[in-house]
Amino acid sequence: GENGVNQIRKKFLEFFESKGHLVMKSFSLVPHNDNSLLLINSGMAPLKPYFTGQEIPPRKRVCTCQKCIRTGDIENVGKTARHGTFFEMLGNFSFGDYFKHEAIAWTWEFLTEVAGLDPNRLYPSVYLDDDEAFEIWNKEIGIPADRIYKFGKEDNFWEHGEGPCGPCSEVYYDRGEKYGCGKPTCTVGCDCDRYMEIWNNVFSQFNSDGKGNYTELIQKNIDTGMGLERLAVALQDVESIFEVDTIKALLDKVAELAHTSYKEDEKKDVSLRLITDHIRSCTFMISDGIMPSNEGRGYVLRRLLRRAARHGRMLGIKDTFLANLANKVIELSKDGYPELEEKKEMILKVLTEEENKFNKTIDQGLSILSDIEENLSKSGQRIISGEDAFRLYDTYGFPLDLTKEIIEEKGFSVDEDGFNKAMEAQRNQARAARKATNYMGADVTIYQSLDPKLTSVFEGYDSLTDTGKI
């Protein structure tokens, strides 16, 4: 239908094209010349040099639909209705051209006239001190003052690591009472799924050095971002991003492979959503040349892939299944991302190899883990030793986060300091061995050997958040 994900993407780009914007294709998920970021997490990220004036943009007005990955949202995936590690961000950008008036007017025009959302369900927010934006919403657009929310820095000052930043104005969509948490305090800005943030307009006028120092940019810019999947949720009036047309078709495929169906069992549903999200991330990452490894981006890929594989096990899937799902991702998204079709063979090969590798050890690892749990329980302990966690990582390919996730469900925890010590000891050993023989470690991927600068040392998932700092 006209509200399908692929149709909405097209409508958005055509609308901004009609407002003088150059439609550019999505940039790679791998940042170019930007060490502050592990993976592209917003439409503006690959455009930073145009904002700062370092490079001349092809036009002062640009719009994109950018593939994004936010590992910082990983804990939310499958649990909230609106977060994926992978999503598409629609955005219009002005490099020293138009500013707040036009940006806000077009946001409103697109949402209410082109997309056709009910204006009575939309609520804008502005940064506390941004009287200008408040006045525009109130006087020029005609939104009553009591429907415009004022928030502080936390929500309405957009800043991800170093680079352009500034106050922002967001638009929330009221999905109705049935999605609310029911608390008397539930209103715009509540964490639950009722008032869903759909669009962020950033008035980027400062440059941050990432250390708390701001300088006024010579040019005033506009940077906006709207989650394509979230807009589709509003337009298709479905429960979550996992039920919009394209993603639901993928989720159904997962359910089919697991011989189950969605909405049968809440626990299974979490796994179905999680696999659906993670396979999207993995497919897109590989199409951009990222290979599974133990470091940096490659480790993000490995972790997502193994987490999906483990949830497949939980659903009773015995055979390798990820390549099969990737096929579906490609089929559903090649409209917007032709590179998926071009790289298909490679994507399927990498997924199959990595899944096969993990499949050889996953069952053994899981059974060792339950032995460990049993022994600890007998002696009344709740903490798994660092050495045990490291052995699971090193010999059975269990990323630490995966071990944690599995055992936390049962009330155990891991001695992380002990794990890090064991890891460090092994690294030192490997380093010494490398020095002695100039041996290229077995886990050096093709990708790393092509350009060592492109990978970064893994420092734990906490540091891989969407603040972009590693």
Binding site for ligand ATP (CB under 6 A): 70, 73, 82-84, 87, 89, 197-200, 225-227, 229-230
Closest among 62, 69, 58 to 31, alpha carbons compared: 69
Binds Mg ion (CB under 5 A): choice among 42, 85, 200, 219: 200
From 4-12, 140-148, 192-200, 407-415, span contacting Mg ion (CB under 5 A)? 192-200
Q: Residue 290 touches which of Mg ion, ligand ATP, none (CB < 5 to 8 A by kind)?
A: none
From 99-107, 111-119, 200-208, 317-325, span contacting Mg ion (CB under 5 A)? 200-208
Token match 């608390």: residue?
183
Query: Do 275 and 254 contact (CB within 8 A), yes or no?
Result: yes
Please count the residues of the chain: 470
In the complex, the smallest distance separating the C-beta of residue 230 from ligand ATP, rounded to whole angstroms, is: 4
Number of neighbouring beta carbons within 10 Å of residue 210? 16
Report which residue type is found at 281. Answer: S
Q: Residue 84 touches which of ligand ATP, Mg ion, none (CB < 5 to 8 A by kind)?
A: ligand ATP
Comparing CB distances to ligand ATP, the nearer of 167 and 386 is 167
In the complex, the smallest distance separating the C-beta of residue 420 from ligand ATP, rounded to whole angstroms, is: 28
Q: Residue 67 touches which of ligand ATP, Mg ion, none (CB < 5 to 8 A by kind)?
A: none
Token match 């999207």: residue?
280
Query: Do 458 and 295 contact (CB within 8 A), yes or no?
Result: yes
Which 8-state DSSP code applies to residue 295? S
What gap in Å lies between CA 48 and CA 44, rounded to an integer?
6
Comparing CB distances to ligand ATP, the nearer of 45 and 291 is 45
Q: Residue 229 touches which of ligand ATP, Mg ion, none (CB < 5 to 8 A by kind)?
A: ligand ATP
Q: Residue 461 touches which of Mg ion, ligand ATP, none (CB < 5 to 8 A by kind)?
A: none
In the complex, the smallest distance separating the C-beta of residue 101 from Mg ion, rounded to whole angstroms, is: 21
In the complex, the smallest distance separating the C-beta of residue 157 from Mg ion, rounded to whole angstroms, is: 10
85 contributes a contact to Mg ion by CB under 5 A: no
Q: Residue 223 touches which of Mg ion, ligand ATP, none (CB < 5 to 8 A by kind)?
A: none
When CB distances to ligand ATP are compared, the closest residue is: 227
Comparing CB distances to ligand ATP, the nearer of 51 and 199 is 199
Comparing CB distances to ligand ATP, the nearer of 137 and 199 is 199
From 74-82, 104-112, 190-198, 352-360, span contacting Mg ion (CB under 5 A)? 190-198
In the complex, the smallest distance separating the C-beta of residue 68 from ligand ATP, rounded to whole angstroms, is: 7
Comparing CB distances to ligand ATP, the nearer of 66 and 294 is 66
In the complex, the smallest distance separating the C-beta of residue 174 from ligand ATP, rounded to whole angstroms, is: 15
Q: State the DSSP H helix or E strand holding residue 184, giving kind and residue range, or none if neither.
A: none
DSSP string, 402-429: HHHHHHHTTT-EE-HHHHHHHHHHHHHH
Q: Which pair of structure tokens corresponds to residue 153?
A: 């820095």
Instruction: Name residue 223's beta-bridge partners.
Output: 93, 202
What gap in Å lies between CA 279 and CA 264, rounded to an integer?
22
DSSP string, 98-155: --HHHHHHHHHHIIIIIS---GGGEEEEEETT-HHHHHIIIIII---GGGSEEE-HHH
Comparing CB distances to Mg ion, the nearer of 188 and 244 is 188
Q: Residue 226 touches which of Mg ion, ligand ATP, none (CB < 5 to 8 A by kind)?
A: ligand ATP
Comparing CB distances to ligand ATP, the nearer of 260 and 333 is 333
204 contributes a contact to Mg ion by CB under 5 A: no
Comparing CB distances to ligand ATP, the nearer of 114 and 454 is 114
In the complex, the smallest distance separating the C-beta of residue 141 from ligand ATP, rounded to whole angstroms, is: 18
Which 8-state DSSP code applies to residue 161? S
In the complex, the smallest distance separating the C-beta of residue 227 from ligand ATP, rounded to whole angstroms, is: 3
Number of neighbouring beta carbons within 10 Å of residue 312? 26
Q: What is the distance of C-alpha 445 from the center of its chain?
A: 24
What gap in Å lies between CA 286 and CA 298, rounded to an integer?
9
Instruction: Name residue 87's beta-bridge partners.
Output: 68
Q: How many residues bind Mg ion (CB under 5 A)?
A: 2
Q: Is 33 exposed, middle or buried (0-12, 13-18, 19+ CB in 10 A)?
A: exposed
Q: What SS3 class is residue 450?
A: helix
Query: Do 172 and 195 contact (CB within 8 A), yes or no?
Result: yes
In the complex, the smallest distance separating the C-beta of residue 88 from ligand ATP, rounded to whole angstroms, is: 8
Binding stretches for Mg ion (CB under 5 A): 197, 200
